[in-house]
Each structure stands twice: as structure tokens, then as C-alpha cells.
Structure 1
Amino acid sequence: MEGGEPMAAMKQLDFFIFALLLGLFSIIGQVAVDTFLPAMPAVAAGLGTDVGAVQMSLAAIFAGAGVGQLIHGPLSDRFGRKPVIMAALALYVATAIGSSYSANVEALTAWRFAQGLAIAAGRQLANASARDLLVGDRLGRILSYTLVVAAISAIVAPIAAGHLSEAFGWRSVFYYQTGLGILVMVLIGFFFTETLKVKDLDALSPSGLLRNYREILRNPIFLGYSLLGGITLAQLSAFHSTSPQILIQGFGLGPATYGYLFAIVMVGHVIGAWLAGRLVVTYGIQSMLLAGMLISLFSAISTLIPALAGMRHWSVVILPMALLMVGFSFALPQAAAAALTPFPHIAGTAASIAGFTQFIAGAATAAVLSRFDHETQVPLAITLIVLSISGLVLGEILRRAVRE
């Protein structure tokens, strides 16, 4: 694939390889989170703390990812996508090793924050690299296909992590992350071609940063879609931060069983991403966003009703969450595409601000939910209902603004 090659000239094989590489790079963040989930109760026991404190390390990686968004975007606009991607992968490997040697929850939380700085580059620079070459519905299409790669990984990773945690202890999940980081670094190093045709030489200058930030933050459409992306990621963060306590501690399941159930949820992710990649070209970004939020609301209500009825079976959590992931896959790539479309000349910086909004929303959601008991799924369901309704209202405001 030649750097800067337009969509019309990109061969089908090149398109597939491009989507695959972007998807592989995107999974470093997913793996950093998903492999950790089955091990959370074991981490709490091993470090002599409670699950709520371990949940804060999950909030820390989201917070680190939010801060990292503001760093990687301008760096990639100045030096190109590939050098920043490689540096982020090196940091990812180093922090995974550091996390594996944590002696207490405070050290783990610090390492996870640093790992968040690394994973920030994943989806952000995947989005920016795609935006370098593509626009509009076709941009939404390739971002949806990168989610397919990420979703397949999300099926495999928690299953492997659950078995690793049971067989070798919770530190082994970080050895898994280390190996994956090295593999992705090699693949990106050999097969990824720089996509940024013209570097912004002023991207790191105070005046250049101020000019770019002013241009982006004055665009109300960008702000709206960035917030909508934040609402969508907050839904995922809510499930991530509460499901280990609900299913492992509340329902008495083991880490390996949790991994398989989490994989069921990710099947919804795969189906949603595959459908979104096909449907967005026909129905457009606005319709996909609306459908995603409606599906999310239905899944949230489907989670709450069994909880209020006192039902305590994995299916009343997992099946609605699989449906939630369909809605997530419909909404998130389209929100990203809509936010980035006005800024082809500073896509990296725009992606950094959008990503900051998303990850800080996820960190805040995880931090708030860490204060509650999750022996049942009621707090999770209520959180998802509030987020879904907020997304529907904001989506309608944006739809009317775009129409006008």
C-alpha cells in the first residue's frame, strides 16, 4: 500500500491489509483492558486489597489513555503516524512488564496509568491514519472493519486470560500483553506504510497547537460528536468495570468461565461491526448512530428488569450486554468519522481531542461505579439507561444541526 493512496485507487487487497493493520494496532488497548478483567478478583486477593481499589486501576488506564490522546495526535501530525505508533508500542511493552512486577495496588495503578498513555495511540492513530486516505461513509466503513479485527481479538483475549489467571496467577496476563505488544510492533514495523502525505511543521509549536485547538474546539459539530463518542465508550467502561464483580463475586463464577462469557459479549461486537461496515454505506452515519443508541437503550432495560425481579443467572447479564455491543459497534466508529470529517488537514489533533473526551468519560464512569456494590446488575443497568437516553437526546440535537 502506498502512503497517501486515495480510496479510488486502492486495490481490494491493499484495503484489506490496511484495515487489518489498523485493527491489529487498535487491539493493544482492548487487550490491556480485556485480559485484566477475569483476573481482577485474583489481583485484589494477591495484593491484599478489595475489588473496588483494583477497579480504580481500570479507571487509571482510561485516564492515562485520555491524557495520551492529547500527546499522540500533535506528535503524529508533526512526525508522521508510523514513528509515533512504534514509540507507543514500545511503551506498551515496557508498562506491561512493569505491571507484572507490581507489589501493591498503588504501584499497579501507576503502571496502568502509564500503560494508558501508550494505548491512547491505538484507536486514535488508527482513526487518523484512515482519515489520511478516506472520507465520509467510506471512512466509517473501514473504521467499522477495524472494529471487526478488534472484536475477534476481544473474543480470544479474555478466554486466554481467564485460563492463564487460573493456571499461572494474575501476573501472567501481563506476560500475555507483553508478547502481543512485541508481535504487533514487528508487524507494523514491516508492513505499515506512512499515510500522512504532508506533515504539519507547526503542530508542536505553542502557536500552532493553539491555532489548531482553537479551530477544532470552535466547531460545535465536532464537540457534539466527540461527546457522543464519550457517552458510547462510557457504556463499555461501565460493563468492563462492574462485570467481574457481578459475575465472579456475585454469581460465583470462575475467571475462565468469565472469559468465555465475555467472549459471548464480544460476538455481539463482531456482528455489530460487520453489519455497520455494510449498512453505513447505504443508510449513512446519522441513521447508524440512532440505531446504535436505540439498541443500547433496549439492552439496558433488558438488564434492569431481570435484576429487579431477583434473577441471578449469567444469561440475564451476558445476553443484554452482547446486544449492547451491537449498538456500541454501530455508534462509536460513526461518531468518530463524523467528528473527524471537518479536519482533514489536522486529523491527528482532532482525533486526540475526540479521544480525550471518550477516555475521560470512560475513566469517570469506572471511578464512579467503583464506589458501589455490584453483587447485582442494578447499578450497571441504571448507568446504561442514563447514558443511552443522553446519547439519544444529543444525537437528535446533532442530527438537526447537521440538517440545518
Structure 2
Amino acid sequence: MTTKKYIKLILILGSLTALGPFSIDMYLPGFSEIAKDLHTSVAQVAMSLSSYFVGISAGQLLYGPLLDRFGRKKPLFIGLMVYILASLGCVYVTDIDSFIFLRFIQAIGSCAATVASVAMVRDLFPVKDIPKVFSMLMLVVGLSPMLAPTVGGYVTEDYGWHMVFLILMFMGILILIASQVGLPNSYKPDTSISLKPKPIITNFLSVLKEPQFYTYAFTGAIAFSGLFSYVAASPIVFMDIYHVDPKTYGWIFAFMSLSFIGSSQLNSILLKKFSSEQMIFGALISQSVISILFLILSLKNLLGLYETIGMLFIYLACLGISNPNTAGLTMAPFAKNAGSASALMGAIQLGLGALASFAVGVFVKDSITPMVAIMTTTTITAFIVLNIGKRFIKEKVALSDKDDLVIGH
């Protein structure tokens, strides 16, 4: 493969990967404006984030079999068309219920891009290059939550929140054209794959029965739902409770992403000395201590804007270390069912994330304590699940140096 072609593929796959994070993070600075325009509360607007997570969670399970059955480009084309139309719908929406529903449809569409990009990395690159390609794509995914809310903050302040969805629609159109013109047909449709519910469910169940899968998938997903509650609560916390403007909020959010990205890069260095299990254990212990301290401080009203940013920064750093390791150990036993295992892991993670962000919409109004309480509960639960689940793992499939898996939002 020529360098030029290699770069072109990485750029297109990277833009497919970035569509999801951009759709999640770019409209966050507009929460108070959307609430005003649609005559509702910021907490109700946060429900549109939960419905988006539910959509991606369901979409993960839906597109796996479709991409294997019909090849990569047809389902991708249809998914992106759905995304483009739903984004356009969000521009003209007049009430909160339609907005929440359209965000769900938008997520189902964007999910095609996320799942297809992962599948196509496996199709297009030699096995030895896959970890390298994934880490390049992760950089794109990592930069998205830094760029998206910052750009969103400026767009919202200068042109209003409707403009954000117009920009997302045009991104969808560009990505649709690039992927149809620039990506090869990397996979022959496999007509032997059944789309009947029974074989699909049987396949998912066989994955779920593996103790190493359920231990690390649930530990990772429960711990990670702390990130989703932070994302959902952040517009309320920073713009409503601490009264920062949309532009400043965008910058705070970008700064927080540094913590998550930095620690997941640090993780690769630490793995030379420690095993994945040790890293998960250490990260969860630290995360438990930090979240309990965070909760005590917020109950005693000792947190201003800067203290809150500091505590969240350390909390997210622990997640950046545990997440790649739980993902790697979840996927390690599956040479054959990797697609189903990956889709199921994604669905569990996003499903629990949707629940956490839904709880935020219900409880977080004029104090940050409910958000911190949700984060503390999920962290301690994850730690308990890890220690109970470990007892059921008879023979562990370890990660070799070659399988440097990094998966995340």
C-alpha cells in the first residue's frame, strides 16, 4: 500500500470515527439556549443526550450483522443518510420531545460510521499494523471531545445552536461522499449470515457466558458510566451552577479531555512494567478514594469552580488508565467472535452510560452533589464486580504485546 493511499484511508476512517464524538459533544455548550428556545429545563435537554446513548447502544448490535451480511458500503450509506436527515430535522425542531426523538434517530445513523470504521480497519490493514492504526484513530477520537465543544461554544455564542446541527449535517454529507468515493469495497457480502433474531441472539449469548468477558466488560462499563454522567452533567454544573459562558465551557471541557487522553497514553508506558490486571486494580482503588473524597467535599460545600475542575481531572485520569485495559481483557478470549464481542461490549458500555446520563437528567438540578454521588456509586460498584467476577475466571486469556487494544469514546 502506498503512503498516499495509507494516509487517505486513515483520514476517511478517522472522519467516520469522529462523527459520533462530534455529535455528542458539539451541542453541549448550547444546552441553556436550547432549553430557552424549546421552553424547557436544561435537565430535560440532557435527556436528548441519554436518548443519543441509547441509540448508539442499540445501533452497535444492529449494524454488526448487517455489515457482515451486505458488505460495508451499503449499510454505511444508509446509516449516513439517516444521520444527515435527522441532523436537518434537529435544526427545525420546535419542542423537546421531537428533539429527544431525533437525537435517537441521529445516533442510529451515526453508529453505522463507528461500527463500519472498526470493521474496515480489520479488512484493509495487515494484522501487525492494526494496533498502530487503532491508536491513530484513537487520537482522532481523543481530539474530537477537545475540538467539538470548543468549536460548539463559539458557534453557539455567535450563530446560535441551530447552526451546530447544520454543521453536523454538512459533516455527514462530506463523510458520505468521501467514504463512497474513497473507500474500496473491503469485504464481500456473506449471504450465509442469518439476520433472523435467533442465531444472532445465540451468538451474543455464547459471548456473554465467557467469565472473562462479563467480568471485564461490566467492570469497565460500570466504571466508564462515571464519564457519561460527567458529560451529561457538565453543561448544568459549569453553565448553570458555576455560571460560565458557552465559550469558557468549551475550553473547560477540552482541558478535561486532556486528562483522559494523557492518561491513556501513559497507560501504554506503564504496561511495560505492570500487567493489565494490576493497572485496572490500581486505577479503580485510586478512583474510589478520589470519588469518596470528592463526595465528602461536595456535601460540605467546599468546592468552587477550580476545585471541581481539579477533582474531575484526577477522576477522569483514572478512567483513562482502567478503560483500555478492561477493553483489552474483555476482547482477549475472542479470536473468532471478535465482531460480536466488540459490538456487545460497546452496547453494554453505552447502555449503562445512557442510564447514568438519564440519572443525571433526573437528579442534577442546582447542586453538583448528585453527579458526584452517581460517580462514587458506579466506581465502587465496578470495584466490587471486578473482585467477584475474578473468582469465576478459570483460565485467563492474557494480552500479548501484539494486542495493544485501546477502545473508548
TM-score, normalised to structure 2's length? Answer: 0.84
Report the alpha carbon displacement of residue 327 of structure 1 after superposing the two structures with TM: 2.6
C-alpha distance in structure 2 between counterparts of 1:393 and 1:135, whole Å: 36
Q: Is 1:157 paired with 2:141?
A: no
Q: 1:261 to 1:292 in 2, by over 3 A?
A: same
Instruction: Identify which of 20, 36, 56 aligns with 1:45.
Output: 36
Q: Which range moves more in the overlay, 210-219 or 164-173?
A: 210-219
Residue correspondence of structure 1 range 1-400 to structure 2 within 5 A: 21-130=12-121, 143-193=134-184, 199=190, 201-280=192-271, 283-301=274-292, 303-399=294-390
Q: Verify the 8 A CA contact 2:217 2:326 in the aligned structure 1.
A: yes
Matching residue's letter, 1:159: T
Structure 2: runs of 5+ lacking an equivalent: 397-409
Q: CA deviation at 1:183?
A: 3.3
Shift of residue 282 of structure 1? 5.6
Are residues 198 and 189 of structure 1, via their aligned partners in 2, closer, same or farther at CA, if it must alter by over 3 Å? closer
In structure 2, the CA distance between the partners of 1:232 and 1:117, relative to structure 1 (3 Å rule), is farther
CA contact (8 A) 2:9 2:182 kept: no
Distance 1:346 1:363 in 2: 25
Rounded Cα–Cα distance in structure 2 between residues aligned with 1:398 and 1:19: 37
Range 188-197 or range 57-66, more displaced: 188-197
C-alpha distance 84-198 of structure 1, shift in aligned 2 (>3 A): closer
Mean Cα deviation higher: 98-107 or 324-333: 324-333
What is residue 402 of structure 2 aligned with on the other side? none
2: CA distance, partners of 1:316 / 1:76: 46
In 2, the alpha carbon distance for the partners of 1:121 and 1:285 equals 30
How far apart are residue 236 of structure 1 and its match? 1.5
Maintained 8 Å contact 1:145/1:277: no
Q: Which residue identity does 2:363 align to in structure 1?
A: F
1:362-401 Cα shifts (integer Å, max 9, x gaps): 1111112212143232111111111112222223344552
Q: CA deviation at 1:141?
A: 6.7
The one-letter code of the counterpart of 1:223 is Y
In structure 2, the CA distance between the partners of 1:72 and 1:371, relative to structure 1 (3 Å rule), is: same
Taking the aligned partners of 1:63 and 1:255, their CA distance within structure 2 comes to 26
For residues 295 and 160 of structure 2, what CA distance do their matches in structure 1 show?
Answer: 34
In structure 1, the gaps of 5 or more residues are: 2-10
Moved more, 356-365 or 317-326: 317-326
The alpha carbon displacement at 1:174 in A equals: 0.9
- Higher mean alpha-carbon deviation, 369-378 vs 331-340, is at 331-340
CA contact (8 A) 2:121 2:133 kept: yes
> Are residues 233 and 197 of structure 1, via their aligned partners in 2, closer, same or farther at CA, if it must alter by over 3 Å?
farther
Cα gap change, 1:344 to 1:127, in 2 (>3 Å): farther
The range that moved more, 205-214 or 14-23, is: 14-23
Among all aligned residue pairs of Structure 1 and Structure 2, give the percentage whose two residues are the same amino acid: 25
Task: In structure 1, give the amino acid aligned to 2:139.
Answer: V
CA–CA distance in structure 2, aligned partners of residues 12 and 274 of structure 1: 25
Q: What is the letter of the counterpart of residue 278 of structure 2?
A: S
Residues 175 and 140 of structure 1, relative CA distance in 2, 3 Å threshold: same
Q: Distance in 1 between matches of 2:12 and 2:248?
A: 30
Task: Check conservation: 2:69, 2:189, Cα contact below 8 A.
Answer: no
1:290 and 1:216 map into 2 onto residues whose CA distance is 24
| C-alpha contact (below 8 Å) 1:25/1:123 kept by paired residues | yes
What is the RMSD computed on CA atoms of the aligned residues?
A: 3.1
- For 1:14 and 1:291, how far apart are their aligned partners in 2? 41
Residues 1:212 and 1:43: Cα distance change in structure 2 (over 3 Å): same
> For 2:296 and 2:130, how far apart are their aligned partners in 1?
38
- Aligned-partner Cα distance in 1 for 2:335–2:46: 37
Q: Report the number of matched residues.
A: 394
| 1:323 aligned partner, one-letter code | I
Task: Measure, in 2, the Cα distance between the counterparts of 1:127 and 1:281.
Answer: 26
Q: Contact 1:142/1:277 (CA < 8 Å) preserved in 2?
A: no
- Taking structure 1 as the reference length, the TM-score comes to 0.85
Q: Distance between the aligned counterparts of 1:20 and 1:288, measured in 2?
A: 32
